[in-house]
Chains A and B, each alone.
Chain A
């Protein structure tokens, strides 16, 4: 079992991140994936039961085991009867009260992940279900992570569970070509989970980190199975290591976001960076250059604090490959920033003018930055436009600070 931080102040959220999926997955393995909805309910109710007991009787010495026991009892009362007929038909072994082994549990997690990433479900549904089941996110949290309404999420989860049921999808790993195809989906889902954790704006830093570490853990599990340990998986894990190395440096003492340039590089986790380098080496085999490879390589260069031409030349080159493989406004803007670092503002401005992403706040933030030395009034105009377009409070504060610094 993963170690539980005995930090009472964050105990419930932390347990939720780690135990919700284990309980849900365990129950589905015992009773069948068609009981996914019931399994989720039972997992949630076990936490409610904790709420009704722990404040009065004290927190048990092993809170995770306590939750497990409650969930098992609830399942026995509620699912045993429903599932028994199906079980006789399928000749499945009866669910006993024995604890499952660590390896078995990890295998169950992967089977659940592969089931959720079934091609019968849309990409949005896969990510939504992964956030719910693998990360234990509630409706509110999924809603703020994906920026969609709670009703939509509820419908998606419901449809997803129904589809799994209708298609008779079971908890097992696909094989051969189907496995490779499914693995693509699984990787993208894990990638999006990490990205949500790394960039989304929920309050608790710990929750975000839990989500990132959860994505890392799943990627790591994939490297442990011979049939899933592909160079892409290793590249993804390398990317995560580089990104996660900056957790401690991303905010100042007041909890405000710091840009890469403003971070104290001595706070970067060198151990994680070294892990990243190791995984990136292991990923550099085979024929296929995936966007995970390119993003990992870019993240590697960003993990080096020096401001050398060599670094920016490498980054510009990588972005040029990435924009072909995975074109997006973010990639285009990052590429221009790297060009600015390498060849100066004039050339970057030329590229930016051709891009003209006039509904994108980051475009105006970048153009403002590029003009900050050359044409201050125009730079201020750009930051004001960015201010009108930003979606998040953190971005708004950032633009306001920039305007203030420039005397606007």
Chain B
């Protein structure tokens, strides 16, 4: 069993305006995590607030701090969950259920977490 991190990339959640939409989003996310947890394969997760986000960047003029990770790309990192899976395919199946993917252009990146046992 390996641990995988599922990284959500989507637009700023401020677009989700009404309490009803928030409720829907929360319900879908909890349902999704619930199905993974039911198989005892949910490890942890968190959202990453867009506000007060900074980027420290190395340039030829030295380190530059900018607001937000938001360069030219529309979608940015909005959160992640860590799951346990027997294979990357299984982790991908988990990722497919994420409500993040309801927005066209959004993505969930699946990455294996280095286990430190030299096998990965």
A contact set with B: CB distance below 8 Å: 8-13, 15-17, 45, 47-57, 136, 138-141, 203-204, 207
B51 partner residues in chain A, CB cutoff 8 A: 45
**What are 22 sample pairs from A and B whose C-beta atoms fall under 8 A apart?**
A8-B27, A10-B23, A13-B19, A16-B19, A45-B51, A47-B19, A48-B22, A49-B49, A51-B47, A52-B13, A52-B47, A52-B48, A55-B29, A55-B30, A55-B47, A56-B29, A56-B44, A56-B46, A57-B46, A138-B17, A138-B19, A204-B20
Q: How large is the interface on B (under 10, 10 to 19, 20 to 34, 35 or more residues)?
A: 20 to 34
A207 partner residues in chain B, CB cutoff 8 A: 20
Contact A56 B45 (CB under 8 A): yes
A11 partner residues in chain B, CB cutoff 8 A: 23, 26
Q: How many A-B residue pairs have CB under 8 A?
A: 73
Instruction: Give, as a whole number of angstroms, the nearest-CB distance from B6 to chain A.
Output: 12
Contact A56 B23 (CB under 8 A): no
Chain A CB within 8 A of B14 CB = yes
In the complex, which residue of chain A has the Cβ closest to the Cβ of B25? A51
A48 partner residues in chain B, CB cutoff 8 A: 13-14, 16, 22, 49
A13 partner residues in chain B, CB cutoff 8 A: 19-20, 22-23
The 4 A-B pairs of least Cβ separation, nearest first, read: A52-B47, A55-B29, A16-B19, A56-B45
In the complex, which residue of chain B has the Cβ closest to the Cβ of A77? B52
Contact B49 A55 (CB under 8 A): no
A8 partner residues in chain B, CB cutoff 8 A: 27
Contact B19 A51 (CB under 8 A): no
Within 8 A of A (CB), among B17-44: 17-20, 22-23, 25-27, 29-30, 33, 44
- How many angstroms between the C-alpha atoms of A125 and B81 in the bound complex? 44
Contact B46 A53 (CB under 8 A): yes
